[in-house]
Structure 1
Amino acid sequence: MAESGKVHLGLTAVIAIALGGILFIGMGRANIYHQTSANHILTMAECMACHSEDSMRPVSVCLDEHCLYTNDHPVMRSYPPPRKAQKFAPAAEILQAGCVLENGKVTCLSCHNLTKPPPHLIKDGDDLCYICHKYLRSDP
């Protein structure tokens, strides 16, 4: 009877490990995709093909004037913003930093580099914001 309990416990452990591995692989699949197959993506439409509101991995996208800057950034806006160019880095400078503009507009790839590890940001922390927002820099 004790032997049967050990077998049952061992089988349970094997199943738990297998399920954990499947979950880990499933979660990592998108990141592996981003770092390999998806690194050719250059348009917001290509990003939204996988990240629309109805997808398995939706993202918050702000297309109007009233964005919450805690977790989303306005996209499909001209860069630099009209009548505010003096507060922003020149387009050539942000392109040099690794940002991508789609027809002169900010998109997902203005901040995300899909060849980098999650969350695929071009720079970490406030340094990401400072690429464009030169008025936020300590040495504008």
Structure 2
Amino acid sequence: MSNQDKDTNIILSISTALINGSNVDQCVIFSDDRGDGSSSSGNSKNYISKVNKGKKVNWTASVNPNSGQSNPGDTVTVVAVLKKPDNLGGDDILEKDCYYQNGNLVEGKVKSNAELDATENYLVVFAVTTASTAQTTSYIIDPRIKIVTQN
């Protein structure tokens, strides 16, 4: 690991007023603190976050603040980050499945022996609670992480 390696923080911005079981990819925008900007609507499942060997990856969710995208009082929570079964995720980068700890945070760790440029598709399970009905619905989306040397 280089001395410039760092943890990666991934944020899901969710349009709670628009999301349903058939449009999840269009209602979730991924971004991270590694300088790649954010995914565009409809392209979140193809978003790739850079990670470093042996470092942490943190996932959090927020309600999309743009007008008409979310209802006042709605809340979102990242519930789990899961490895795809039977090696369907491609390369094996994450150490294990990760679950909600507290404060809307799921924390995982990248394997120290992962190959450079390896890419893993994984599953993010998140929940949306609609304020007006107090109903909570869970959704799944499948972005990617990639091992890089720095940045």
TM-score when normalising by structure 2 = 0.26
Which structure is richer in relative contact order (CA contacts within 8 A, separation 6 or more)? 2
The structure where strand makes up a greater share of residues is 2
TM-score (norm 1): 0.27
